[in-house]
């Protein structure tokens, strides 16, 4: 099963599900909002059902959401229309994005998606090229714990190949925090804020500015 088919199939359950750690979600949402300005053009990569883009739309001039899943984009478009968010636009596209989408965005958001893309350094360079000078890449990514894996994490990591084989999980690429941050810096960014929300397993929140 390819990535699009997996996420199309998962979309109804994903949309109906609840955020596991709402406190961490709200905190990182507000930290993200603090970097945005009313005149900003924003892109969210891997927007899923568009929930975060919908919440941030009133804070910016325009926000564009992309996702590999046409089903997810359908949910995002429907909700935006219901909420009257005329500045929120959603299109189906993978995380690398096409040349047609290249423009000077003020911020690119990548929440819970960087560990799902193959060839992350190339993706980061692509995002760098699409940002205006001084623009922000704001991401949140599940990472490997620094002090070893707990039983739950070890179990998940062990069974992922089997789940992927049967179409029950997408490919996942686990990084340590230091390695992830080094890739972001090598793509031409300066990291200006970090934090783990939640702490275990760490979901690394990173705000990086284009040099």
d(CA 56, CA 59) in angstroms, rounded, equals 5
Instruction: Give 91's pLDDT tier (boundaries 50, 70, 90).
Output: very high
DSSP secondary structure code for residue 20 in this structure:
S
Structure tokens at 127: 């995002």
User: Model confidence over 122-179: pLDDT tens digits?
Assistant: 999 999 999 999 999 999 999 998 876 677 777 777 777 777 776 777 888 999 999 9
Four-CA torsion 13, 56, 141, 47, nearest 10 degrees: 50
Instruction: Give 185's pLDDT tier (boundaries 50, 70, 90).
Output: very high
67, 46 in Cβ contact below 8 A?
A: yes
Q: What is the pLDDT of residue 147?
A: 76
Task: Break the chain into its structural domains and give their ranges.
Answer: 3-144+173-210
Structure tokens at 62: 């325009």
For the chain, the farthest-separated pair of C-alpha atoms sits apart, in whole angstroms, at 46
pTM: 0.92
Instruction: Give 46's pLDDT tier (boundaries 50, 70, 90).
Output: very high
Q: Please provide the CATH number assigned to the domain covering 3-144+173-210.
A: 3.40.50.150
Q: What is the pLDDT of residue 189?
A: 98
């Amino acid at each position: 099963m390819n990535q699009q088919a997996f996420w199309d199939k998962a979309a109804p359950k994903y949309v109906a599900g609840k955020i596991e750690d709402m406190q961490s979600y709200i905190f990182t949402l507000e930290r993200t909002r603090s970097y945005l300005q009313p005149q900003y053009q924003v892109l969210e990569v891997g927007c899923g059902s568009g929930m975060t883009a919908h919440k941030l739309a009133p804070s910016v001039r325009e926000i564009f959401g992309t996702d590999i899943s046409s089903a997810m984009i359908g949910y995002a478009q429907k909700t935006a229309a219901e909420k009257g968010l005329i500045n929120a636009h959603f299109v189906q596209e993978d995380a690398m994005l096409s040349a047609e989408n290249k423009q000077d965005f003020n911020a690119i958001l990548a929440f819970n998606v960087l560990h799902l893309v193959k060839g992350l350094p190339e993706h980061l360079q692509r995002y760098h090229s699409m940002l205006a000078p001084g623009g922000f890449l704001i991401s949140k990514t599940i990472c490997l714990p620094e002090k070893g894996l707990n039983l739950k994490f070890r179990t998940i990591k062990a069974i992922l190949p089997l789940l992927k084989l049967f179409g029950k999980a997408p490919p996942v690429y686990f990084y340590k925090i230091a390695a992830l941050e080094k890739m972001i810096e090598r793509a031409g960014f300066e990291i200006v804020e970090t934090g783990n929300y939640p702490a275990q397993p760490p979901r690394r929140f990173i705000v990086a500015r284009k040099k």
